[in-house]
Amino acid sequence: MTIIYFTATGNSLAVAKRIGGTLISIPQVIDSDTWHYKDDVIGVVFPNFSNAAPKMVRQFLDRVTLEADYTFAICTYGNHPGACMFNLQKQAARNGYRFDYVNSLLMVDNFLPVFEMGAEIAKLPEKRTEEMTLQIVEDITNRKHLQAKAGAAMRILAAILGWFSTDKNAQGYIVDNKCNGCGVCRRVCPAINISMHEKPVFSDQCTGCLACVHHCPQNAIHLKNEKSNKRWRNPEVTLNEIIESNHHGD
């Protein structure tokens, strides 16, 4: 089994690890010449950004060929899955393939412009994340088939949110004087959007994942409109795993 994933704060990587198999990070292969993957089972795991897959995931799925007896896609989300997986199915169909099983997994919401992290972490027990993770793993083990549906209202909402997607307005970063120039932000950025000049300098390729904000060891990177000073990394994932997943290029 091969699982291709995108992760920022570790939620999707934690799920990919629980499902098992050979793990491949999308940022590590996005510039590769190899776009053909073959295995008995192939899955894609990623976070839901504003009712859609992250831009890099969408770009990858537009170019990839998945050759497998069984394929699946899982998105992790923190508030509402919306039409994300419905639209993912449409994207796959446009590119000549399909997912046999698609599902969404409710986890902590770490989008700081909207949610206060302390309150979101306190809600985790009621989200039944562990129970639903086990169900998804069982479904995939049993090769269950499941397709996503979305009503007209959800499809319209997804289209509206697309105009305000995180990759379009994620440039409001503030770096305070706690920054010691360690460069962790540069190494966890999947988009190669950060260079170090004593402090981080942000370019215009931001994918809005907020990995740089959440993983800064000094808590020195902030959003102008953030609701929380508290940060999140999935407890089943280490900082080194995030760096190994996202750091590529020079």
Residue 202: φ, ψ to 5°: -100, 135
Residues 146 and 192 in one domain: no
Query: For the domain that residue 224 is a member of, what is the CATH number?
Result: 3.30.70.20
- Non-local CB neighbours of 107 within 8 Å, separated by 6+ positions: 11, 76, 77, 78, 127, 129, 234
Evaluate whether residue 168 is within a structural domain: no
**Residue after which a domain boundary falls, among 106, 141, 163:** 163
Residues 112 and 44 in one domain: yes
Residues 104 and 54 in one domain: yes
- Non-local CB neighbours of 26 within 8 Å, separated by 6+ positions: 4, 5, 6, 46, 56, 57, 60, 190
Residues 40 and 158 in one domain: yes
DSSP state of 166: T
| Spatial CA neighbour of 129 closest among 12, 9, 6, 8 | 12
Give the residue numbers spanning the domain of 193: 173-246
Question: How many Å apart are CA 193 and CA 117, to the nearest integer?
Answer: 25
Residues 149 and 196 in one domain: no
Evaluate whether residue 15 is within a structural domain: yes
Evaluate whether residue 150 is within a structural domain: yes
As for how many domains the chain has, the answer is 2
How many residues belong to the chain? 250
Residues 181 and 142 in one domain: no
Residues 22 and 125 in one domain: yes
pLDDT tens per residue, the chain (250 residues)? 999 999 999 999 999 999 999 999 999 999 988 789 999 999 999 999 988 899 999 999 999 999 999 999 999 998 878 889 999 999 999 999 999 999 999 999 998 988 999 999 999 999 999 999 999 999 999 999 999 875 555 545 545 455 455 554 445 799 999 999 999 999 999 999 999 998 999 998 899 999 999 999 999 999 988 998 999 999 999 999 999 999 987 6
